[in-house]
Structure 1
Amino acid sequence: MTGEDAPLISSGVDAAKRRLMESMPDALKRRLVGPYNRMLKAKGNRAYRTRQQALPTRSPSDDAPDHIVCVVVDALRADAVTAEDSAFLAERLWGDLVTPAPWTFPAVTSLVTGEYPHEHGSVRQSDESDTGATDLVIPPKLPADRETLPDVFGSAGYETYGGFAFHMPFFAIGGRFATHSLYDDAPADTLVDDYLDWADAQTGKTFSYLHLADLHEPVDPPAPYWGRYEVDASIPDIKTWDYTEAADVGPDGRRYRANRKQLYRAALAFVDDELGRLSYNLNERLDGDVALVVTGDHGEAFWEHTEFDAAHFADSRPAYCVDHGGTPYESLTRVPLAVDGLDLAPADGGTPSLIDLAPSLLDSVGLGDALEPTGTSLVSGVPTDRVTLVESARYGHEKKAAYFDGWKLVVSKGDDQSVGFDLPAAEPTTLPEAVERRLTEALPAWPNGEHADVRVSGMAQQRLEDLGYV
């Protein structure tokens, strides 16, 4: 960990400093949020400039888009994109991707590297069943000298921008952009407005990354969207998570769950409207060709396999098949990919992954050899014989998944479980022997605790606790 990373994640600080941070009243920590965020952004901007000095000068192809905007909607599950709730996304939907991890930190690191978590190193380090239950730990961050997608764009003359609605994605990939914007759970319209202000001042090519948090707990879209979807705001804890146990939740629990799903739809409708506004302004304000890419970092579970999950897998919260970070069911692993101004091959090959996005964007600007990703470019298509992986669960024992030819395998060594699924039904089934053997052999190694996960600082923990991380 470098000196640039130390303010972001306090692993290695002396015990006295940690005790001081943890002893601060929450009210004091919140008053320090502004200076804290400004410090993080300044450190991130400086880290990027330092890295750029060591990179070669690259040239994009003559027909490369002048502006590329990548938007990640946190907790956006693929089947949530419909013409009714998200017409903008539905009209531009290319298909589904499988996230390489069911929560933000390892997933977005995979997005900017084109590698699986076990390859880039931002992967859970322990297989203990209480992971994530009582203390806020995160995987190791990428080494400071590791080149990523925005670094490559910067070396090719693109001005780069990263806007983060909350801290977790910034902790993962902060320091990778020339300009950072960082907020405490800001709504989509704030991120779009601030990004457009930045874009108005640009005179050359740009690459931008916006990470939206509106679908992430606490979910609270503007009032008109609550009304449009008839969400009962009087239900306790409706913005967060409740009724997460496997037992029968009764009429109050069923009412809560129905309204919680409606609230998610309402928030997505708001995000979709903001994406439409963003797209319109990009084409009106920016000179040159614009490519817009929208995806999710992971999905969101809404009790699809609650009883099965409780019977087969440990969850340290416990929260069975709800929220994200747990067992990699389809509701968590499938995210949509919507594109505008970018030519991709039809989604009819192998199972595409979020690790394919970085090589796809680089291929589209003639920089396909700048990184050495595991992912493949969607410009040319996914090989039909590829096994696609998911790993680095946040809660309970580690749980990994592998996909091939319409089959899926979920394995947890700690839970002593190996469960097959026949897709797209996504119901447990017995896999053909040859398929199960191939998927099992493709799974990466399990964490052995040789290296420790990273404990965040007291200030960072306050920011993330407010978002339901512990």
Structure 2
Amino acid sequence: MAWQTDALAALDRLAETGLDADPRLADRYRERRADRRFQSQSLPTERPTGDAPDHVVVVVVDALRADAVEKTPAESADDSRSGAAADSESDSLGAPTPFLDSLVGGTAIAPATWTVPSVTSMLTGQYPHNHGAVRRTDDFEDSVADVIGLPPTSDETGVAGRFAGAGYDTYAGFGMLVPFLALSGRFSTHRLREDASADRVLADHLPWLEPRRDRRTLSYLHLADLHEPVAPPADYWEAHDVDASIPGIREWRYEAVTETTPAAERYREHRRRLYRAAVEYVDNRLAAYHRRISDLLSGDVALVVVGDHGEGFWERADHAARRFADSRPAYCVGHGGAPYEVLTRVPLRVSGLDASATFEAERSSSDQTPVSLVDVAPTLADAAGLDRDPEADQEADGDSLLSGVPEDRTVLVESARYGYEKKAAYARGYKLIASRGDDYAEGFSVPDGESVELPPDVESNLRDALPAFPGESDSRTSPRRENEDSPSRSVERRLADLGYR
């Protein structure tokens, strides 16, 4: 009834006013609210096949870029350049990752350069312009306000809802707030542990999983160790010789990013070392976690490990400063900006899913057919034997990696967080980046990210593939409705603390 809905909304507002007093209380409140939202949904009813995996675990390592795990030949060619002077994408951030190296897989293109649209695309199989979790304007001043506002969440069912409707218990554990806000209400159980280490997020999952070892489960775990503030255990700092006394080393310092001074170079070098240290820590924790769940579940587990986007370390700072407006300013620093390879190319590794043929084809294809994170949802649905979502608004944009992706496909990136909207389209070993507000379009070869003149037929196809910019004729990118939720003051402050400013 209407009065009950109004009463619940009033209680939510009353509870929200006291959340700043105890962050742990705030997390528990948000968890319960997300659980209630899931319980109120009407889920599609589907039946998994007999050979469907009993347990599926998807681990997203926030800000894990591809060359943190493995180097491509182009990236390996020149690691001698550093700092703002190295206006290229060749300064690899590889760290020891024996566990991730042991898994099947390769690289994938993130559909956005920041978390909210990217993880929504991963779980819906749709690009941001289709699932709707995108910014609503392309005005520079409005984009500054959008930094805290966050796009509305998508109302698409997504693969988690489909698995729940097929009888799977579902769980999501988050080490930071932003992905929780994007995916809240999609799982039967939510756990939010802000600023928690990988150890904590992974350990929290085991007590939920243990009593369900004889059931079917789908779990989503979002690790925040590579997102600022970066703070792996002390022995990893020491192993990578990171100077913890450098001011601001755990967070991003955006000032004068295109200038080179001895102090700036020292900060940049140790910021890279800290990132490598955190990558090695996460890899070690994932190895231990995988051993635990394999023993617990008698090896019957399908594991997917991905990055939701990459991270910039000044590789294209000069290029970005000359071509793109940025409200911070932070030119190729952090994430959320222009779709350079260091932000769009992420690892995608799997165990217990036979997708090896797709990745081998990707590596050997002369056209470098790209895999995308929008392929994750169709792949999981295919593994469980689920047909297309009968209640979805449209077919998934992605393809199942179990059956292979089309060689002639075009892969998209969109929904930049900062400045004007910036989009990219990939096909046949090339990429086009375009920004209407910055009056910019340029072609690149991939994965090396070198500026090139695109073949005319490729350029035409890539331009045609670009989705509408905000404000153009696309109902999904219409202005925000008056009754759409906006973050509370406590959420806004927390987002600012996390660097979304």
Among 160, 174, 194, which residue is 1:150 paired with?
160
The AA in structure 2 aligned to 1:415 is: D
Residue matched to 1:452: 480
Deviation of residue 4 (structure 1)? 12
Distance 1:418 1:141, change over 3 A: same
Specify every segment of 5 or more residues in structure 2 that has no aligned partner in the other structure, as ranges: 71-93, 363-368, 472-476
Residues 254, 329 of structure 2: 8 Å contact kept: no
How does the TM-score come out when normalised to structure 1? 0.91
**Which shows bigger deviation, 390-399 or 41-50?**
41-50
Paired residues, number: 452
Residues 315, 396 of structure 1: 8 Å contact kept: yes
The AA in structure 2 aligned to 1:343 is: D
Partner SS, residue 346 of structure 1: helix
1:100 aligns with 2:111: yes
Spell out the pairing of 1:256-405 with structure 2 (5 A cutoff): 256-287=267-298, 289-344=300-355, 345-347=357-359, 348-349=361-362, 350-370=369-389, 372-405=395-428
Deviation of residue 244 (structure 1)? 4.8
Cα deviation code 1:66-113 (max 9, x no counterpart)? 100000000000110048521111121401110111100011110110
The AA in structure 2 aligned to 1:282 is: I
**Which shows bigger deviation, 331-340 or 459-468?**
459-468
Residues 111, 372 of structure 2: 8 Å contact kept: yes
Among 242, 261, 276, which residue is 1:231 paired with?
242
Cα deviation code 1:130-187 (max 9, x no counterpart)? 45546511111122xx311111111111111000111111111110111100011111
Residue matched to 2:57: 69
How does the TM-score come out when normalised to structure 2? 0.86
Question: Root-mean-square deviation (CA), in Å?
Answer: 2.4
Distance 1:467 1:5, change over 3 A: farther
The AA in structure 1 aligned to 2:198 is: A
Deviation of residue 289 (structure 1)? 1.3
Cα deviation code 1:319-357 (max 9, x no counterpart)? 001100000000000010111111013322521110000
Spell out the pairing of 1:75-94 with structure 2 (5 A cutoff): 75-82=63-70, 84-94=95-105
Question: Partners in 1 of 2:454 and 2:216 — Cα distance?
Answer: 49
Among 128, 132, 150, which residue is 1:138 paired with?
150
1:464 aligns with 2:475: no
Residues 58, 303 of structure 2: 8 Å contact kept: yes
Question: Partners in 2 of 1:360 and 1:441 — Cα distance?
Answer: 27
Residue matched to 1:40: 30
The AA in structure 2 aligned to 1:383 is: P
Question: Partners in 1 of 2:458 and 2:235 — Cα distance?
Answer: 49
Partner SS, residue 327 of structure 1: coil
Question: Partners in 2 of 1:413 and 1:64 — Cα distance?
Answer: 45
Partner SS, residue 40 of structure 2: helix
Distance 1:3 1:330, change over 3 A: farther
Residues 298, 335 of structure 1: 8 Å contact kept: yes
The AA in structure 1 aligned to 2:154 is: L
Question: Partners in 1 of 2:399 and 2:95 — Cα distance?
Answer: 32
Deviation of residue 46 (structure 1)? 1.6
Residues 132, 395 of structure 1: 8 Å contact kept: yes
Cα deviation code 1:269-293 (max 9, x no counterpart)? 1110110011000111124611111
Cα deviation code 1:119-140 (max 9, x no counterpart)? 0111111112245546511111
Specify every segment of 5 or more residues in structure 1 that has no aligned partner in the other structure, as ranges: none
Distance 1:183 1:441, change over 3 A: same
Question: Partners in 1 of 2:448 and 2:285 — Cα distance?
Answer: 32
Partner SS, residue 358 of structure 2: coil
Deviation of residue 35 (structure 1)? 2.5
Residues 65, 288 of structure 1: 8 Å contact kept: no
